[in-house]
Structure 1
Amino acid sequence: MGAVAASARLSWAAGVVAPRPGERVLEVGCGHGVLVALLAERAAEVVGVDRSPTMVTAAGRRNHAAVEAGRVRLQAAALHEADLGPHPFDVVVSFNVRALSDPAQAVTWDVVSRVLAPAGRVVVAFSVMAPGVEDDVVAAVARLAGDRGLVVAAVHRGETAPFASAAVELHHPADADRG
């Protein structure tokens, strides 16, 4: 696959995730599939899920070759309704997906916890659009993930345009020092 035209924030997020060859990656809220494409350049398999059929159609066009090659699978569904298959994911990632910081959407974390491999990691990335947003999102993600046995391993920050970006990286406690 050739180079993917991507925003600074999604390129930054792909660098934070840095999937290793052979890893299975799940992107929650894949949108147009830009991050899916960046991750598929390194990972063995990327599954992208988005509630919007329009977004998944666009992601399918963008990732057509990878879909045909079996490296990318896309689904239009809410995460808790998606068919994610029987195999765990090494990485679960999202960018600007409120469901991962909203206590009213805790079912999203139930799914993440269920599909994450024992040594897997979760990267919840987001745009920092106002003062205090980073602290609030990090605290909410830490609390919701913590209720499912995950701990914050790192908080990454990126000076991306048009807004700064941040990402909370989480692991199971035994794996938190791998960061």
Structure 2
Amino acid sequence: MATSPVPERLRWAVGRLQLRAGHRVLEIGCGNGVAVALICAVPGVARVVAVDRSAAALRTAARRNAAEVTAGRAVFRHADLSTLESFEERFDRILAVNVNLFWTRSPTAEFRRLAGLLAPDGVLHLVYEPPHAARLDTLVGRLGDRLTAAGWAVGEVTRVDTPTPLLDVAARPG
């Protein structure tokens, strides 16, 4: 399958996860599976579970990561956070890139669900690439407010203003 170039935001986002051997990762809104491929390329990462609302995107993601799916290192689920089932395992990292519901709504129920999926030392990473750097302050404020209201503790906030604006808000259940 021909693949397109990897967007810089996804390389940056996966780098922000600080993955180690044995880590289990949940990606919310995986799209066509590019970040899953980057995560699976990290030596020793145990497993990636990726969910998306789009069945078509999941088919593309599964094809892109066919070897990892066969090996049991990548699993794709058709779901959104409101229908996401529980898993036997807990995740060391949860990644969501450009998932708008976290800053456009009041996602208390979704944050509660994610808190139950994190391992005790796990971290949630909300990563955004807004159209312009002026939006970064708005995102930081809204994400911080929503996380705090849902009982999360905002940890490290990392932003890149140029040349491409990028934001990572890392948080843990409070």
TM (norm. structure 2) is 0.88
Conserved? CA contact 1:9–1:160, under 8 Å: no
CA distance in 1, matches of 2:93, 2:69: 19
The answer to whether the 8 A contact 1:25-1:89 is kept is yes
Structure 1 residues 79 and 172, CA gap change in structure 2 (3 angstroms): closer
Quote how far apart the aligned CAs of 1:172 are: 4.2
Partner of 2:85: 83
The equivalent residue for 2:66 is 64
Amino acid across the alignment from 1:135: D
* Equivalent AA in structure 2 for residue 110 of structure 1: R
Q: CA deviation at 1:131?
A: 4.5
1:80-126 residue CA offsets vs partner (Å, 9 max, x unmatched)? 21234122111111110011223344332121112111211011000
- Which structure 2 residues correspond to residues 1-179 of structure 1 after superposition, within 5 A? 5-42=5-42, 43-158=45-160, 163-172=164-173
Q: Is the 8 A contact 1:28 1:49 kept in 2?
A: yes
What is the alpha-carbon root mean square deviation over aligned residues?
2.0
Letter in 1 for 2:119: A
Question: Do 1:99 and 1:106's aligned partners in 2 also have CA atoms closer than 8 Å?
Answer: no
**In structure 2, C-alpha distance between the alignment counterparts of 1:171 and 1:108, rounded to whole Å:** 14
Describe the SS at the equivalent of 2:129: strand
What is the distance in 2 between the residues matched to 1:68 and 1:52? Answer: 21
Q: Return the alpha-carbon distance in structure 1 between the equivalents of residues 128 and 150 of structure 2.
A: 21
Change (3 A) 1:67 1:5: farther
- Whether the 8 Å CA contact 1:93–1:125 is kept in 2: the answer is yes
Return the letter of the residue paired with 2:12.
W
- State the number of aligned residues: 169
DSSP-derived class of the 1:81 partner: coil
Most deviating of 31-40 and 80-89:
80-89
Where do 5+ consecutive residues of structure 1 fail to align? 174-179
Q: Is the 8 A contact 1:119 1:172 kept in 2?
A: no
What amino acid is aligned across from residue 45 of structure 1 in structure 2? R
Aligned amino acid, residue 157 of structure 2: V
Listed as ranges, the gaps of 5+ residues in structure 2 are: none
Residues 117-173 of structure 1: per-residue CA shift (max 9 Å, x gap): 121101100012134321222222222222333222111224676x32111111245
Identity among equivalent positions (%) equals 31
Residue 9 and residue 131 in structure 1: after superposition, are their counterparts in 2 closer, same or farther (change >3 A)? closer
Aligned-partner Cα distance in 2 for 1:158–1:171: 22
Letter in 2 for 1:168: V
Amino acid at match of 1:66: E
